[in-house]
Structure 1
Amino acid sequence: RWYYRDPATTAREPFMGSNDLYPWHSSDCGDIDFCGFRKAISHYRNIVWDRGEKLYLGVRQPVPEGKELRVTMWGVWPVHSSWTWPGMEGKPLQVEIYSRCDAVRLYLNDTMVGEKATTRAEQFKASFEVPYVPGVLRAVGVQAGKPVAEKILKTAGEAVQLHLTADRTTLGDGQDLAFITVEAADRDAQLHPHADHEVSFTLSGPGTIAAVGNGDSASEEPYQGSQRRLFNGKALVVVRVSRTPGVISLTAGAPGLAPATIRIQSQPGKQIPAV
């Protein structure tokens, strides 16, 4: 992984209406958060610069009643790839589509909401105001009148289980790292973006938990420890292997959710001297 820390600490988009700026310690701008989870602006830039992505579908985060959101010069409005908004039934949501196609069509539960151009003149994006109804939100990219790309967002059911996904499951021994994403999911293994359970981690084998995080810019939780609360349904665990080959087992558990376990193989490899 590459790490770049600059705009993540220079601007933020707070919900105004109170003076409780603490405990914010970073911003919501930038392409990724402190855990490396991509934000909507990352997908938009890929589309603008034609870096392989053709279509992105997201929803602007609603502003809590009685507050306003001010976007700074560096900032962008928070957009989430989610159609799970409990409590917003019947209320308008702003749907954003980023597209490298000529136009996009938006459907809600198989009913067409509308079609808009997304060429360079429209800055490769379109926006629709849609009253929230649980179900399936679908964006279709259109090129020369024909559908060429599709993105789907489904309303998640109740969170019932944890999922663990590692960027690598085989590591060289001696200070190598594995980045493991933790997600709360429904019965269909779909991420529940509003889950905020506190997850505890246990590890066995030749390794240690180097760090935990969740991408929440206002979290007061330490980055070192064996537990972390989910944010937007996710968290991150960084596991460091020792110089002893073997199998590392990491288990995540939270009240009300089925636990998950992942295994990582530490094998003999070239030792990289510390700098």
Structure 2
Amino acid sequence: MPPVFRFAPSPTGLLHLGHALSAAAVWRAAETAGGRVLLRIEDIDPVRAKPEFAAAIEEDLAWLGFGWKGPVRRQSDHFADHAGAIDRLKARGLIYPCRLSRADIAAAVAGAQAHGRVVPRDPDGAPRLPLDRAVESDPDGPPAHRLDMNRALGAIGREPLGWTEQGAGPAGETGRVTARPDDWGDVVLARKDTPTSYHLAVVVDDAIQGVTHVVRGQDLFYATSIHRLLQRLLGLPEPRYRHHRLISGADGQKLAKTRGSPSLRSLREAGWTRQDVMRAIEPFLAT
């Protein structure tokens, strides 16, 4: 069977040059491997995900000349698949309900720092749970569900956990990389407002779609540790991974919708051609 790749943007805004880079990296890798590309719309955010942005994604990909095989998979149509995975982990005692709000976590962090205690952080810089003395301000509210990291690590046994990196991580990591999911603490697997999370949905959908190769930006390199842990816990296959460099803006930060990075649509309206976009991203496709 030919390799299966996927491009999986979130419809929470218009695509920008960073997305064009990711798309080009996916389609180029698929062409080199003689594989095919699937399109998945990761629309699990009930507030920020919009149908008009999903439609714009397909419009921009067509303008860039990227086609895909089969129907588009929209994650919001498949919450039952994600809930089934949650039920399996729950039956094994590997997840627990958590009603901590962001304000609760911030209060616990402030209290710890006021007493001179160091607050552990995950690779994204967020406080790593569980946090000492964190108190739920709304114990009767709807819960999120978190992975019990200690129990999860105990459940996978002593077989080494890692992945094959065909690109490179932020520090040049390549080849067989050792996963370190404990760096993330008790991650959320199902949100309060949605029966899944990015981490859970991505591994479940990759398995269901038969994805064999995952190509994405280096900002998700360390999250692969969580994904490999979930794949092991759920008995899902291990894809090969390739993480590519990111495009930074003038401020040195990666391009992002939330920072108002110029969209592909605005560049197109300003007179950019597909060739202009490809010239702009080509230097970043080397890895």
Structure 2 length as normaliser, TM-score? 0.24
The structure carrying a bigger strand percent of its residues is 1
Structure 1 length as normaliser, TM-score? 0.25
The structure carrying a bigger helix percent of its residues is 2
* Larger RCO (CA within 8 A; separation ≥ 6): 2
Answer with 1 or 2: which has the greater Rg. Answer: 1
